[in-house]
Amino acid sequence: MLTVIGTLMIIAALRFGRLLALPVVIALLLTLMLSAPVRWLRRRHIPERLGAAIVVLGALGVVVASTLLLVSPAAQWIASAPTTMRQLETRIRRLALPLTTLERSADRVQQATDPVASDAQQAVHLATPGILARVSLEAAAAVPVALSVVFLTYFLLANGPLFRRKLAGLLPGPDELHRREHLLGEIGAAASHYLMTVTAVNAGVGVLTALALWLVGVPSPLLWGGMAAILNFVPYLGPVVTAVVITFAALVSIDATGHALLAPSAFVLIHLTESNVVTPMLLGWRLPLNTVAIFVGFLFFGWLWGIPGAVLAVPLTVCAKLVCDHVPALAHVGDLLDS
């Protein structure tokens, strides 16, 4: 009963304290992902503090450069949202012309049988002038959180062995300290391998998607490729949303329907190849989680932290699985999550 109460209290604290918990969790995941380059630099006789600074600044440069590439096309699409929606509505009406003709025939029959009925026009107004302002405000609010993540990631990387030793001393149990440190090192290495592999695969999905859309002729292929890379972290829902958005963008931009549908078809082919061939081959044909665990983790972390939780759901669930595999007392939980 005390365990259940304690677990519920931790979940409640994580949910209501997400403004504090999310930066810490993101920094821990980034530390796991970037620890391998820091260890590589340490083997080249570069001190950990300097190596951590080099790795963090390099990763930050990549993120800033990628963001700058996406900001301009994203702003253009947001600014042209009313025109784009009208074009999309016109295109969908054209594709659904047979159904529209049938509906009009039914309306004529209804008007003939009901002389009181009259035509009513419904005007749809898209209130979008405030979208850019809202996005700017949200971006400004995210700056302090991003800075805290950057600094916390650097401190964790620069003090990796010390942090691992302190954490090992806090763990309960009669095991020796060096054995706990070794256990934490194994968990960190396995999680680092997984996170680096998945990040590289998703980046590859984004690059291939952008290239495919560029070949098809969809405007702003870098924007849609970046979206595909980020949403690929979200299981199930992410690829579906990406395919729908790419379909709309292609229908608005390309006149020939068959040509426009090449864009979502190319993305679906890329996603199927990645999920069924590339990722299993790189991570091992036996994936670390079963589909039920992935779906439950997606629902739980999505409920806990919203969209950021949905993006972090699979990495966090995999890290939890790795911890369970290395801790004998949690072996039954690891078996439950296993594929």
Instruction: Supply the DSSP symbol for 330.
Output: G
Q: Give the type of residue at 85.
A: M
What are the residues whose beta carbons fall under 8 Å from the beta carbon of 156, sequence distance 6 or more? 27, 28, 31, 163
Instruction: Supply the DSSP symbol for 236.
Output: T
Q: Measured between alpha carbons, how far is residue 236 from residues 81, 97, 228, 275, 292 in Å? A: 27, 32, 13, 11, 12
DSSP annotation string for 138-207: HHHHHHHHHHHHHHHHHHHHHTHHHHHHHHHHHS-SSS-HHHHHHHHHHHHHHHHHHHHHHHHHHHHHHH
Tokens at 138, concatenated: 């949200």
pLDDT for res 211? 95
Q: Give the type of residue at 10.
A: I
pLDDT for res 40? 87
Low-confidence residues in the chain, pLDDT < 70: 80-141, 166-181, 284-288, 339
Query: For the chain, what percentages of helix, strand and coil (3-state, to nearest 5) are there?
Result: 85, 0, 15
Count of C-beta atoms within a 10 Å radius of residue 232? 26
Per-residue pLDDT tens digits for 252-266: 888 888 888 899 999
pLDDT for res 288? 64
